[in-house]
Amino acid sequence: MYECPNCGGNLKFDIESQLLKCDYCLTTQNPYEITKDKDAEESNAFNVTIFTCPQCGGEIMSTDTSAAEFCSFCGASTILNSRISNEKRPTRIIPFKQTKDACKKAYISRMKRALFAPDELKEEKYIDSFRGIYMPYWAYHISQSGNVRLKGEKSYRNGDYLYNEEYRLTGDIDAYYHNLSYDASSSFSDNISQRIAPFDTRDMQEFTPSFLSGFYADTADVDSGLYRNEALKLANTTSFNKLKYNRAFTGMKISLETNNIFAMSQALCTTYNPPERVMYPVWFLSCRRGERIAYATVNGQTGKVTADIPVDTKKYTIGSALLAIPIFILLNLFFTIKPTSLLGCSNLLAVGTVFLHLWEITKIYHRDKRNDDQGYQFRQEKNSPPGTESKKKSSSSIPFKELLAFSAFDEKHWLPGFIGSLIAVAVAAFIFNLNPVSDIWYYGGAIVSFFGILFTIVAIIKKYNVLATRKLPQFNRNGGNDNA
């Protein structure tokens, strides 16, 4: 902790004044003017307490040594294990701009629109556990400067002739991309960091550890090179598109003669500079629901909210029933529904729900494997014994056995959720094939279909909740120093 020079109290970073402020005597201090003895010793490292969650292995750091009582990653209320560590020092930081009250307000107004969300996500006590965390990012700097050659092609018709003209275009490029930022923590999911982006990097300040006082920070455990190609590709395609759609080249087809990112870098005179360690502020909230967890994140600079919002099955069912009644009455007013078309419609609905369900399962499968999270994948690969990497590639198709497991109606019932709609389809096919004279068959078929589809729809809502939440994290940290 940082001691108040006036009374010895605890100095914490105060968002409103952007200064350090004493809890007791309200004295303020410039963050750069106060250091702990140990901070100064090594310029590229600083001392922090690392808290490790005994449940999930998630790690979070603080400049304060007082015990942390809950884990933001898995939602467990438990005393976290602590140890002192020497962490690599970031070069720059965006200090918190949004106060906790502003963050809570932004979250509450977001949740007002979530009509079917469970009440517990809106409870004051729950909302109060928002925690201010600095998330580590890699900031890439890429510049392009030098002579560029482009190929231009123009074709037009004049009278009976078709003209093809080719141009060799040369010119100078002078472009730079500062602070292309990528999430450097394997515990912070890439899909959250993308959703709360962007951060305005003009607010960046030189890092000093006292900025962290009163907040937590996530450890940076992803190699700096991981997003290198992505950053290069972004810079190269952005610059190339600028050139291509330049007004001077209207009507001309411009090409670089290559799409390969390395060749493109060469053609555009791209220089890659080693990325910087930086920290960006987020307010973070986690809500555990059984074996799943929901996160809410508020950008600590801009106030942008992103939240995993599950649906309360009861609220949703009542809500849709209330909505279905007027729709049904309206339909009855305007159309006379024939028994055959009734069965036909329910058949279409059944087929639709099967596809919706399959689509959901595929998404859950990839989400739970965290296939979209490069930082996490990087960590897993690093921890897995050599030779196990090969199976990662075939991730786009799901093995049938896993598909069945993922489609189970819920944890207790092994029945796949799409079975209801499949029965509905089979019954309809059977009746249409039979082509009976009596309408009773069609009505009966429609009723069977209705229950079949209902079964699948409830399964879809349940799966939706799985999709709207995350698997409880389990960070396999293989001991040792993460920064080694």
Catalog residues that contact Zn ion under the rule CB under 5 A. Answer: 4, 6-7, 9, 22, 24-25, 27, 53, 55-56, 58, 71, 73-74, 76
Residue 166 in tokens: 């080719």
Nearest partner of 305 among 196, 191, 194, judged by Cα = 196
In this complex, which beta carbon is closest to Zn ion, that of residue 74 or of residue 226?
A: 74
Given the DSSP bridges, would you call strands 59-62 and 470-471 parallel, antiparallel or unpaired?
A: unpaired
Nearest partner of 135 among 83, 94, 177, judged by Cα = 94
CB of 329 to Zn ion, least distance (A): 50
In this complex, which beta carbon is closest to Zn ion, that of residue 138 or of residue 283?
A: 283
Largest CA distance in the chain: 95
Helix (H, G, I), strand (E, B) or coil at 348: helix
In this complex, which beta carbon is closest to Zn ion, that of residue 261 or of residue 472?
A: 472
CB of 27 to Zn ion, least distance (A): 5
In this complex, which beta carbon is closest to Zn ion, that of residue 71 or of residue 343?
A: 71
CB of 70 to Zn ion, least distance (A): 8
CB of 282 to Zn ion, least distance (A): 17
CB of 56 to Zn ion, least distance (A): 3
Helix (H, G, I), strand (E, B) or coil at 303: coil
Rounded to an integer, what distance in angstroms lies between the CA atom of residue 297 and that of residue 218? 14
Length, in residues, of the chain: 484
In this complex, which beta carbon is closest to Zn ion, that of residue 7 or of residue 429?
A: 7
| Helices and strands counted in the chain (H then E) | 12, 17
In this complex, which beta carbon is closest to Zn ion, that of residue 25 or of residue 263?
A: 25
Residue 279 in tokens: 């920290």
In this complex, which beta carbon is closest to Zn ion, that of residue 51 or of residue 140?
A: 51
Is the CB of residue 107 less than 8 Å from the CB of residue 127? yes
Half-sphere exposure of 222 (CA within 13 A, CB side): 30
In this complex, which beta carbon is closest to Zn ion, that of residue 4 or of residue 15?
A: 4
CB of 382 to Zn ion, least distance (A): 20
Which single residue is written with the structure tokens 């220089």?
271
For residue 35, give every residue at least 6 positions away whose Cβ sits within 8 Å of its Cβ, in sequence order, or none. 208, 209, 210
CB of 372 to Zn ion, least distance (A): 22
β-bridge partners, 59: 52
Peptide bond between residue 416 and the one before it cis (omega within 30 degrees of 0): no
Residue 408 CA, distance from chain mean position: 26
Q: What is the DSSP string of 136-155?
A: EEEEEEEEEEEEEEEEEEEE
CB of 26 to Zn ion, least distance (A): 7
In this complex, which beta carbon is closest to Zn ion, that of residue 214 or of residue 416?
A: 214
CB of 363 to Zn ion, least distance (A): 25
Residue 28 in tokens: 């303020």
